[in-house]
Chains A and B, each alone.
Chain A
Amino acid sequence: MKKVYVLGGAQTDFGRNWSKEGKGIIALLKEVIDDGLKNIGVTYNDIKNLNKEGRIACFVGNFIGEYFVDQGHLGALLTEVNDAFYGVPSARYEAACASGSVALDAGITKIRAGDYDLVLVIGWELMKTVDSKTCGDFLGRAAFYESEAKNIDFPFPKLFGRLADETVKKYNFDNKQYLDCLAKISVKNYNNAKRNPNAQTKKWFMNEEQARERGTATNPTIGGMLGTSDCSQVTDGAAFVALSSEKIIIEFDKVKERCPIVKGWGHRVAPMKFEEKMKESVNNEYIIPWTRQAVMDAYRRANMTVDDIDFFETHDCFTSSEFAAISAFGITEPGKELEAIQSDLTSFNGAKPVNPSGGLIGCGHPVGASGVRMFLDLYKQLTRRALGYQLETANNGMMLNIGGSATTNYTFIVGKDK
């Protein structure tokens, strides 16, 4: 199997509202691909040349462009961005909010197998084309729509609100203590986002009092116990990552030591319906066991443990999902997450920082882009390109990207090649 190198990439400013700018998918894709290629030192002409030899392919992650922007066939759509993509193998990959990861996985696999030498992965979603209620309904297709989302306002906050309820029940937590920890997660991610120039919430205010006071006019409850401060927002954005074989490193004169490699991955699918997930986890110490399994798979493939990982990017679509991820990563035992949060273990300056970028709550969550954005953030930390949110120690990083109510679970470990 061949090594898979990460060359870098780009993301758009997740604070932008492309509908308000009057711009659509093509403008979004052009911008992120132009910027990404510039950052990795590859031109459209290089793409044409590599394509003549059949050495390049594109992998597009998107959840539900058919609803948000009335467009399908999203792999082929790249030909509208630049004629360099004429003839380049390209397809769209979908696994709800883990669409970016499934596109990454496909690209990584093709490099490992030696089929292509350069792979471009683009994840995107334009969501601000509709109001928030309609958006919530569209996203309901990531659950089992017929029984879990149809005719329900904001189905996903409700599903992750149930995860919160079940977590409290399973570990016999004090309700207030648990909710205060969720508030701490939210505030941490808002604060981290202030250092990230591409974060959606970089100008927004949040503090623990505000995050704790759920059920008020400025922090209404939206799903069970969860308030809007516990939720990621509706976001427009795209992220781009380039992966390559060793050949490209040599051809494009890259310094090998400065290109991190993919060390491990995990991909596990839990039962679609939330109820089934909970039934299945009754006799398991983890609340979402298949998420834990995806983490363990990555550790096994990388021959690593949690001790080897310096930082994490996780899928905090809601605070309750970041809470569950803490034990899934193995940062603490299941049921001990409260201590990790209270002791700031997962804060920016903690020993195991989670979401230094701000995560989905702080940085934003354009669903099809999130997996690629997390992966790009691993790269940025590892190569000291994270500017304002650069961590001191970053040799190996792990990401967890989930689709649905922790249905599709994707993990990657990216690290320095030693």
Chain B
Amino acid sequence: MDIKTVTVIGANGTMGCNVSGIFASFGNCKVYMVCRDIISAEAAAIKATKSVKAEAIKVNLIPKSYCDLEECITDSDLIFESVAENLEIKKDVYLKILEFIKPNTIISTGTSGLSINELSECFPIELRSQYVGIHMYNPPYNMSLCEVIPSRVTNETMLNELKLYLKDILNRKVVEVKDAPAFLGNRIGFYFINEALRYADLYKDNGGVDYIDAILGPFTGRSMAPLVTSDFVGLDVHKAIVDNLYYNSKDYARSSFEMPDFATNLIKDNKLGRKSGIGLYKIERQVDGKKSIYVYDVLSDNYRPKEDYVFTFAKNMVRELRIGNYNNAFAVLLNNHSIEAQICTEFLIKYVLYGITAAKEIGESVHSCDDVMASGFDWAPPLSVIEAFGGVYEFKKLAYKHLGNQLEGSFDLNILLEDIPSSNYDYRPFFKAK
């Protein structure tokens, strides 16, 4: 597939800007960065060069405004729409570009949740087969995951060539997923994150937000604790993803996507997280430059200094991980009877089970859950967690032991774990000694 010219519409948004950088660098494409006004397009072009650490790609980045759409679209081999996540706004943009699209130009959207089938219907029948979802993760330079979502009528030859292009030329980890709410990576990731948020509510007497984060810290197979991640992403974005899943997904985990009231209230107060300076956490700089971290206390509806919880199981796991004794670290977790160790174990088991469930439903294969979590979240991939716990047989025993009652009515564990292949990933780098 020869893609020489790309138009990115909404190029001043975080993803529009970063994706422009990816096409202009790895793809060596001429990229029209279309924004509402030329000044923000120029600023976005500078940001895009920084996102791939290469000033040389600047010659490939051409700032444009909506007035230039005709020129850009007629010249493009691929269009990447990256405007606000709103059906009406997207429809409006599509109407503006319709008449200029050449036959064979690929029309793509970076939507992270809207239905690709529904969006494709904005186009006349003869263009629909060229429409496809290309969902990258932020920041794409570090997170190589690229979910590709065809509609019911996407041209199969084009789809296969596009996947090869994204993989071989743009250096992406490509996973084709079905047109389902939030697609695959966010569905599994926000299942875990929202469960953590719900547990923060459930265990508000024990400390809530920072208590749950201390139980699910980097030593459990991620770089960042889950609620720190939510704060980083933004509670509003988090809500958009889980609401979509709550209203539109039908599997056993649906209730896990219900956002607790305290978080919804934070959003109402514009306490969205890192971007608004306050959310689940709040960082204050003292006069001497030192940072003080505060956390939202669910019980008192107030911010208080973040607690440094010392759980014996966590401390001992970190000690073992530091010297590379992975088996000992997992044994520490499984042999500890504290409520915190139980919560941690249950979270990891539920993460694996849901990852497999979602991958079987909308992924290419069971391995898809590993690919999306490793390359989109930098989390220990679900199948690799099974290996960390001693393989499928041991994992199954563990799941029965910990989730026995909860499993009833959800799914048959034997069927779910039948013929589960070994992971293609090494779990060791993901479990941090901290």
- A residues with a Cβ closer than 8 A to B are 13, 16, 20-24, 26-31, 194, 203-207, 209-210, 212-213, 216-219
Contacts and interface: CB of A to CB of B under 8 A. Distances in A.
8 contacts: A20-B432, A21-B429, A22-B322, A23-B324, A30-B325, A203-B171, A205-B52, A207-B56
B53 interface: yes
B384 interface: no
A26 B324 contact: yes
Contact of B57 (A16, A204, A210): A210
Contacts of B141: 203, 205
Contacts of B130: none
A216 B433 CA distance: 37
Interface in B27-56: 28, 49-50, 52-56
B323 A30 contact: yes
Interface in B54-71: 54-57, 59
Contacts of A209: 56-57, 59
A218 B322 contact: no
A162 B26 CA distance: 32
Contact of A216 (B52, B55, B321, B432): B55
B324 A22 contact: no
Contacts of B318: 22
A217 B54 CA distance: 9
A218 B54 contact: yes
Contacts of B144: 203
A210 B59 CA distance: 11
B323 A218 contact: no
Nearest to B429: A16
Contacts, number: 79
Interface residues of B, number: 29
Contacts of B322: 22-24, 26-27
A218 B49 contact: yes
A126 to B, nearest CB: 13
Contacts of B49: 218
Contact of B55 (A13, A29, A206, A210): A210
B54 A210 contact: yes
B167 to A, nearest CB: 11
Contacts of B142: 203
B28 A207 contact: yes
Contact of A194 (B54, B171, B434): B171
A181 B163 CA distance: 33
Contact of A13 (B321, B325, B429): B429
Q: Which 8 pairs of residues, A with B, have the shortest CB-CB distance?
A: A27-B324, A22-B433, A210-B56, A209-B56, A30-B324, A22-B434, A26-B323, A205-B25
Contact of B428 (A24, A31, A194, A217): A31
